[in-house]
Structure 1
Amino acid sequence: MKNRKNIVIILATLLIGGLVGWLLKPSDVTEASPQHDHEAMEENEIWTCSMHPQIRQEEPGDCPICGMDLIPVSEESASGDPSVYRMSENALKLANVRTMIVGSGNAQKEVRLNGKVVVDERNTYTQATHIPGRIEQLRVNFTGESVSRGQTLATVYSPQLVTAQEELLQAQEIKESQPELFEAAKQKLRNWKIGENQIQQILSSGQANQRFPITADVSGIVSEKIADQGDYLEQGMPVYEISNLEEVWVVFDLYESELGWIEEGSTVEYTIRSIPGETFTGEIEFIDPLLDSSTRVAMARVEVDNENGRLKPGMFASGVVKNQVGEETSAEIVVPKSAVLWTGERSLVYIKSDLENGAGFKLQEVTLGPSLGDSYVIENGLQEGDEIVVNGTFTVDAAVQLAGKPSMMNPDINQEVLNETFKLPEEARNEAAAVIENYLLLKDALVNDDFEAAKEAAISLGRKVANIDLDRFSGEVRNTMEQFKKQLQNRNKAVAAAGDISGMRSNFDELSEVMINFVSTFPPVNQKLFVQHCPMADNDRGADWLSLSREIRNPYYGEAMLTCGEVSKEIN
């Protein structure tokens, strides 16, 4: 009886437990649905690195370059142009990157000129003496003095003139019998610019004058005093230089690069430094046909009416000549010079595109037109509405170059090709294997804290990279190998040039980054390599290296932290 009671209790307990389990059990549809959605989500997601957006993987993990956790990106970002470099909003602010939207309009070239006011050479007269002799008195003693035509400038004592006067008086006595001799004596005085009135005075007085005046032939300002009192002058020697300043020239310097923009008839607006607040307008009347061999400039001349005497020779002038670029109805694209990167062979700009949580930048080659001072006309390569970088251009380019994307120094990188893998031709395998082998020797020397061995390995690595024969390749494979060769040489040069092992380690991370991309693009044959990562290297930013062994041997710290790191990727 007691056993039967126990059996009933057990059966009741099982029945109640089963009923509770059935009530709590989820339906089949509810159980399968989240499983299905999760699989679909994982199947569609692409994972990337926030610091190295060129990394694209179909599963989560660590970035093979910096070791950071990969983050999911949208399908739109994953399928974007691989040559576009992405920068976050914070990175844009730190780099002080500014952009502008390209527009079009009438472009004007402003040529700024410097010059000065000078005397009109056509109105400059050299006052000479017509009488040989000694200057007894100067009536005009300083430059800048105003003189009038016919004014006495100086008096001259001339023994020759005294003798000529005495001959005239003697010829007067026999003029009836020898009129030709009398006429010849008068003509001799006329040749010395002695007027008829003075000759008649000599004849009427019957005495020779000891001193004769030198009179001004023109009116103007004495711009130079050439002779001094007491000087003995021959006939025709200069005494003064007299200038008429009612008309002056403003002469501007034209450099070779400006000659193509200025021609005779061009209008120039200019200011005079000593007459502030007033702008003058003139027309260029003449341009020197020859350049000055020493200064490499030509002179452009503007003729100015200076009747009021405001402009004085020697005053400095600043002028502007405005020229229309192209037709008056045409519209040109003009960008600041700060936006253009010039390599010597090509001109480049960065075009910005808006992305989620940041911006994308892509290199664009442009054809430059005329220089407009602080800007350029763009003849080809940009369209109205493009947004370009105008400040921080070199900062953006440096980040793009480190990311391995097309940049100023490597504009021909084909990122799609770099993301592919290639099988090396048979004859090129040994060259690539030698590069990998010497890199691993360098890595082992850093692991062992052996500076001399590391130095030797870096030098040897440089030679092995130089031995890569690009003629073995063709098409895009050649271009890709050429870019890797340049990057390996540049990165290894910095390692080999270091003065101590610490300096070598600080440059080894960039060399390793290129090597990892190299072996990922051209995988070694019958060889497995491990990408290993140390999160503490490079001032806690993390750094990678390649190794033949899965065992961690850290080249960035050597014996100090030999086993710091982990395997992040395998390359077969």
Structure 2
Amino acid sequence: MNTKNKNIIKMVGVLFVGLLLGWMIFGGNDASKSEHDHNAEEGTETIWTCSMHPQIQMKEPGQCPLCGMDLIPLESNESAMDPNAIQMTEDAMKLANIQTMIVGGGNGANKKLALNGKVQIDERKLYTQSTHIPGRIERLMINFTGEKVNRGQTLAMVYSPEMVTAQEELLQANRIKEAQPELFEAAKQKLGNWKIGSATINKILSSNKPIQQFPITADVSGIITAKKVDLGDYVGQGMPIYEIADLSSLWVLFDVYESDMPWVKVGNKISYTIQSLPGETFEGVVSFIDPLINPQTRVASARVEVKNSENKLKPEMFASGIVNNILATTSSKGMVIPKSAVMWTGERSVVYIKSIVSNKVSFKLRNVTLGASLGDAYIIKDGLSEGEEIVINGTFAVDAASQLAGKPSMMSPDGGKAIIGHNHGNETSPVSNVSETKGKNTKSVSISQKAKDNLKPIFENYLEMKDALTNDNLEAAKKSGNNLLKSVENVNMALFTGESHNIWMSLSTELKTSLEHLGHFKTLEELRKAFLQVSNSIINLETTFNPNDKPLYVLHCPMANNNKGADWLSTSKEVRNPYYGKSMLTCGEVSKELK
């Protein structure tokens, strides 16, 4: 073998040894790296969640157990997000119709206040016409109310025996006035005390005989508003015979209730209409506010003075006014927000603050201090800063998501246990968690009859939903469920106070959460899972408030809910199972009677 061939063999051998060593070193590392990457991949396993219910977290893709929507991969950003905030996707915000606004200073906010009132006579221009001559009414020139009179116009003629005697005394004193001038002056003064002028006295002296009837003349011009004497009546000196009012200017007196008094001030402009003058709008300024409250009506009067040169306005006409109160004095720290943004528990008032971290939207509960009500808005005294963004529509949806996720919520300010959607063997299902752990109340709470009447439509719609499920009618059950949701939303929360308010808020939250996704349910099985939660809440509602007059029965099926058992409410002892329908219609028994 020549030298050239030997060199080739050596080179091939060296190359083989190098490849072998490289595989042993780098190939082993690749395997190790591959194993390490695998372990890392296992450590960062994909979590699947629901866009509408972020508290649902599963290890495998599928459908949300609450609403049936397809699960999506969870994009974790927990390190940057506030642990007390609830994160929501854009899809969830659209489905819940969540709307927000940026709050600003309360300066310039309007407080519109509606007032009712009447046109009244200006008391300063109301005059009582009295007679200065005692005697008998011989003639009445003004015989009815509403007649216009002018100052100096004769209203009535009076025959006065005292006046005849006084005139005769004057004529006698006139004959001896040279000897007794004091007596003559005294007789003249006596007639002057009855407002007999010098011209009339001179007429008596020149005619040398007494005047039998004297006129009563109007002291002011105006309209006769009251006639107090009739022909032939005897009247004494100073007795009222007419009331005269000058209607060239009037008052419009608006009723101001105690709660509205802070919003009506002297100088406020009022735009008002008169019921009998449709199409016309008047404007005025509050010139006076009665310092006393009427003890019967509990109102004070706000006065508006108005010129009435055309005599359009008449006393006792009804008026409706609007006060636009510009809150220029509101502190710069005050905020004005819509009432829809505020959730009130009876003790606390809360709003939800929107924040964006790393392009992720989250909402966090915030306690606020309410100020005055501005119709459809509130002044916020404390709890908000200018420029913060709050939820003004869909607040309940955000609060429900926070409650289910175990975050601080309206009824659970410190948070609670999250309702998760995966099972570790011994844990109950999401449906069971919701139905068994929320809102259990075993004692009866007294409420008014009006509050009970508000709750009755809830039971009517629930029973219709139950009957539809017993007949396996999906569409009818969904329709009844939607009606049930509406009846819950229509309940007047103002009828529940104190302890009953908190209990109703909890129960209504459960019902709304159970029913809010009826539109997504495609099968009876999905709807029956929701009906389980609804039934537990309805039974709790009946045992707590007792709104129904007739007895109701709690029926129990031990096989429903994966053999964990399930209850429902019925007006009859007859077993008609809504959880199985026609397949096992008579499965169950009466467990309790509610009277």
**What TM-score do you get using the length of structure 2 for normalisation?**
0.60
SS in 1 for 2:287: strand
SS in 2 for 1:76: coil
* Aligned residue in 2 for 1:102: 103
Given the superposition, is the C-alpha separation of residues 491 and 71 from structure 1 closer, same or farther in structure 2, using an over 3 Å criterion?
farther
Distance 1:194 1:130 in 2: 9
Given the superposition, is the C-alpha separation of residues 395 and 367 from structure 1 closer, same or farther in structure 2, using an over 3 Å criterion?
same
SS in 1 for 2:209: coil
* Bigger Rg, which one: 1
Given the superposition, is the C-alpha separation of residues 259 and 32 from structure 1 closer, same or farther in structure 2, using an over 3 Å criterion?
same
Residue 242 of structure 1: CA displacement? 1.7
Greater alpha carbon shift after TM alignment, 297-306 vs 188-197? 297-306
* Aligned residue in 2 for 1:237: 239
Greater alpha carbon shift after TM alignment, 151-160 vs 306-315? 306-315
Greater alpha carbon shift after TM alignment, 48-57 vs 340-349? 48-57
Distance 1:66 1:339 in 2: 26
Does the 8 Å CA contact 1:117/1:317 hold for their aligned counterparts? no
Residue 49 of structure 1: CA displacement? 4.1
SS in 1 for 2:202: helix
Matched, 1:320 2:309: no
Greater alpha carbon shift after TM alignment, 65-74 vs 189-198? 65-74
Given the superposition, is the C-alpha separation of residues 102 and 254 from structure 1 closer, same or farther in structure 2, using an over 3 Å criterion?
same
Matches within 5 A, 1:120-269: 120-264=122-266, 266-269=267-270
The total of aligned residue pairs comes to 441
Q: Identity rate of aligned residues, in percent?
A: 50
Given the superposition, is the C-alpha separation of residues 75 and 186 from structure 1 closer, same or farther in structure 2, using an over 3 Å criterion?
same
Matches within 5 A, 1:378-397: 378-397=380-399
Given the superposition, is the C-alpha separation of residues 34 and 103 from structure 1 closer, same or farther in structure 2, using an over 3 Å criterion?
farther
* Aligned residue in 2 for 1:536: 525
Distance 1:492 1:179 in 2: 100
Letter aligned with residue 131 of structure 1: I
SS in 2 for 1:257: helix
Distance 1:216 1:42 in 2: 108
Distance 2:300 2:102 in 1: 39
**What TM-score do you get using the length of structure 1 for normalisation?**
0.62
Matches within 5 A, 1:279-358: 280-282=283-285, 284-306=286-308, 309=311, 311-315=313-317, 316=319, 318-326=321-329, 330=332, 332-353=334-355
Residue 171 of structure 1: CA displacement? 4.2
Letter aligned with residue 101 of structure 1: I
1:489 to 441, 456, 461: 441
Q: Please list the CA deviations of residues 222-275 of structure 1 after superposition, one character each: whole Å capped at 9, or x if unmatched.
A: 2333333333322211112222334433433333233334444x2424344338
Does the 8 Å CA contact 1:271/1:280 hold for their aligned counterparts? yes
Does the 8 Å CA contact 2:349/2:369 hold for their aligned counterparts? yes
Does the 8 Å CA contact 1:46/1:56 hold for their aligned counterparts? no
Given the superposition, is the C-alpha separation of residues 321 and 542 from structure 1 closer, same or farther in structure 2, using an over 3 Å criterion?
closer
* Aligned residue in 2 for 1:18: none
Does the 8 Å CA contact 2:98/2:393 hold for their aligned counterparts? yes
Distance 1:97 1:491 in 2: 36
* Aligned residue in 2 for 1:412: 414
Residue 132 of structure 1: CA displacement? 2.0
SS in 1 for 2:365: strand
Tell me, which stretches of 5 or more residues in structure 2 are unaligned? 1-26, 421-426, 446-454, 471-505, 507-523, 537-560, 567-578, 588-595
Letter aligned with residue 536 of structure 1: E
Letter aligned with residue 441 of structure 2: Q
Given the superposition, is the C-alpha separation of residues 220 and 252 from structure 1 closer, same or farther in structure 2, using an over 3 Å criterion?
same
Matched, 1:553 2:563: yes
SS in 2 for 1:141: coil
Alpha-carbon RMSD across the aligned residues, in angstroms, is 5.0
Tell me, which stretches of 5 or more residues in structure 1 are unaligned? 1-26, 420-435, 444-457, 462-483, 506-513, 515-534, 546-550, 565-572
* Aligned residue in 1 for 2:452: none
Given the superposition, is the C-alpha separation of residues 543 and 311 from structure 1 closer, same or farther in structure 2, using an over 3 Å criterion?
closer
Distance 1:165 1:258 in 2: 63
Distance 1:552 1:246 in 2: 85
Distance 2:76 2:394 in 1: 30
* Aligned residue in 1 for 2:43: 43
Distance 1:541 1:355 in 2: 34
Residue 129 of structure 1: CA displacement? 0.9
Does the 8 Å CA contact 1:124/1:241 hold for their aligned counterparts? yes
Distance 1:123 1:542 in 2: 73
Letter aligned with residue 489 of structure 1: N
Letter aligned with residue 129 of structure 1: T
Given the superposition, is the C-alpha separation of residues 194 and 138 from structure 1 closer, same or farther in structure 2, using an over 3 Å criterion?
same
Letter aligned with residue 45 of structure 2: E
* Aligned residue in 2 for 1:452: none
Distance 2:164 2:299 in 1: 53
* Aligned residue in 2 for 1:73: 74
Residue 366 of structure 1: CA displacement? 1.4
SS in 2 for 1:539: helix
Q: Please list the CA deviations of residues 389-429 of structure 1 after superposition, one character each: whole Å capped at 9, or x if unmatched.
A: 2234345434544555432222232569x99xxxxxxxxxx
Given the superposition, is the C-alpha separation of residues 377 and 105 from structure 1 closer, same or farther in structure 2, using an over 3 Å criterion?
closer
Residue 157 of structure 1: CA displacement? 2.5
Residue 214 of structure 1: CA displacement? 0.6
SS in 2 for 1:338: helix
Given the superposition, is the C-alpha separation of residues 555 and 278 from structure 1 closer, same or farther in structure 2, using an over 3 Å criterion?
closer
* Aligned residue in 2 for 1:53: 54
Distance 1:269 1:121 in 2: 21
Does the 8 Å CA contact 1:133/1:233 hold for their aligned counterparts? yes
Given the superposition, is the C-alpha separation of residues 492 and 90 from structure 1 closer, same or farther in structure 2, using an over 3 Å criterion?
farther
Letter aligned with residue 287 of structure 2: E
Letter aligned with residue 43 of structure 1: G
Letter aligned with residue 246 of structure 2: N
* Aligned residue in 2 for 1:464: none
Distance 2:89 2:373 in 1: 34
* Aligned residue in 2 for 1:376: 378
Given the superposition, is the C-alpha separation of residues 489 and 198 from structure 1 closer, same or farther in structure 2, using an over 3 Å criterion?
same
